[in-house]
Amino acid sequence: MTSSTRKTSDSKLERLAKLKEQGRLGGGLKAIERQHGRGKLTARERLDLLLDPGTFQELDSLVTHRATDFGLQDKVVKGDAVVTGYGYMDGRMVCVFSQDFTVFGGSISEVVGEKTGKVMDLALSSHVPLIGIFDSGGARIQEGVDSLAAVGEILYRNVRASGVIPQISVIMGPAAGGAVYSPAITDFVFMVKGVGQMYITGPDVVKAVTGEEVTHEELGGALANASKSGVAQFVADDEKGCLDQVRRLLGFLPSSNREDPPMVPFVEDPGIPSEDLGSLVPDDPSKPYDMTEIISRVVDHGDFMEVASLYAPNIIVGYGRLNGRVVGIVAQQPMHLAGVLDIAASVKGARFVRFCDAFNIPLVTFVDVPGFLPGTDQEYGGIIKHGAKLIFAYAEATVPKLTVVTRKAYGGAYIVMSSKHLGGDINYAWPSAEIAVMGASGAVNIVSRAEIKDSADPDETRARLVKEYEESFNNPYKAAGRGFIDDVIDPAETRPKLIVALEMLRTKREELPAKKHGNIPL
């Protein structure tokens, strides 16, 4: 290589380095300072925390917008308002995009849509998870319908990827307007307190239209979306903690629907009974207990990652492992509303069951359900159709389904909770289980109304009839006698029994009747 050729080559590399450096600065140093002043990291800083060090491969770092209206031709930034690419997370490949609020407020332009769509297409064709970090004011107003088209293209890809690859959204700033539907379509939504907000219309519009005054945080903050709307499943105090949670969740999930979840070798003896398990359920059926204590004693190392813990807390969903194999766990929580099924719990449970089924994650269900919540609010709100979603999800699921009735399993709620009648593969009950149409007191008041009324001592008669009903019906043995329960087991044997059953079902293959898709009662 001659001296002149070397100089030409060096100058080209210098130009490339300069252009790349411009892109890395996003909206510039002052914009980065403002971002930090809001308590927020930049798009690239977030990816550095999320991915394994040195593994991020950026795409389209030199792309620029093409708009000329409103003076945009004089405001061109390399890479525009999103950083896209791929890298490793705990050694597993993932595709990522991170919206850059320092560039036009992270707004979605035509090229932002193109960049995001390209990395989404890569994730789908490569069958790897997609993680999106949201920090955007929505569609870029200056680009008009082109920006709306970009949002639509992203939403279309979210739907196409659903059930094929895990899609995770991390809300680390605003997500507003039509663009907010992208995280809503994805499988899991993480939010940071005081930083992330999700809403269709902001406080100013709400006030103008309805007269209601509400803050950004009250309207669409992390706690509002995690506890009231149920849109978000995870809440973190800061950005690092949030991204740590994302990494933990991905450790339970397969890369796509073509794979099984990742195994983690369990070196201890998996068959050791949990001797104190049964003592956690009170003898008095009206007394509550914490179902998470039972779950923690059953899963490997007590490691249970609860999902959507702040929403519909009367039902528990989350992930754990049994002898190294990932399972999705659904359970009643007697500590909240006695574990009753209501609209919110039904929807929460159904969505979780459908995700697990889509991604080959076996289901373990712990049942202690007194029924569906009565009342006009529930009936008018559609408990019939919403409760049917949970029925639909369990009946449609073809993954291994294991069920343990710990205490109450009454009426239609018994059927719903992964019963044998909805395709449960192995159904166990503890001796404390009560499987019946309803509780003894309510049943006696209906069935024996006349006998109680005509007796000399109605209270004594009712007490006697309740005791007789409990002995005859409020136990697991009638159901076991019919084969609806495969076995009544010592609670201490729950973990080893589930592990062996899960191993037996490892080769389970079940196909649904040929169809385009079912019509779940939405």
- Residue positions annotated with a catalytic role: 177-178, 412-413
Q: Locate tokens 């062996």: which residue?
A: 500
The SS3 assignment for 151 reads helix
What is the distance between the alpha carbons of residues 324 and 304, in angstroms, rounded to a whole number? 13
147 touches 109 (CB < 8 A): yes
Contacts of 384 (CB under 8 A, 6+ apart): none
Report the candidate in 309, 402, 313, 417 with the shortest Cα–Cα distance to residue 370. Answer: 417
What is the distance between the alpha carbons of residues 309 and 293, in angstroms, rounded to a whole number? 15
C-alpha distance from residue 225 to each of 20, 38, 154 (Å) = 37, 21, 22
Tokens of 79: 């890479």
253 touches 166 (CB < 8 A): yes
**What is the full DSSP assignment across 25-57?**
TTT-HHHHHHHHHTT---HHHHHHHHSPTT--E
Report the candidate in 101, 92, 104 with the shortest Cα–Cα distance to residue 130. Answer: 92
Amino acid identity for residue 25 in this structure: L
Q: Locate tokens 């490691």: which residue?
A: 303
Contacts of 23 (CB under 8 A, 6+ apart): 61, 62, 77, 78, 79
345 touches 386 (CB < 8 A): no
Contacts of 138 (CB under 8 A, 6+ apart): 107, 108, 151, 174, 175, 176, 177, 178, 179, 180
Is the Cα dihedral 69, 75, 79, 80 positive or negative?
negative
φ/ψ (deg, to 5) at 188: -140, 140
58 touches 44 (CB < 8 A): no
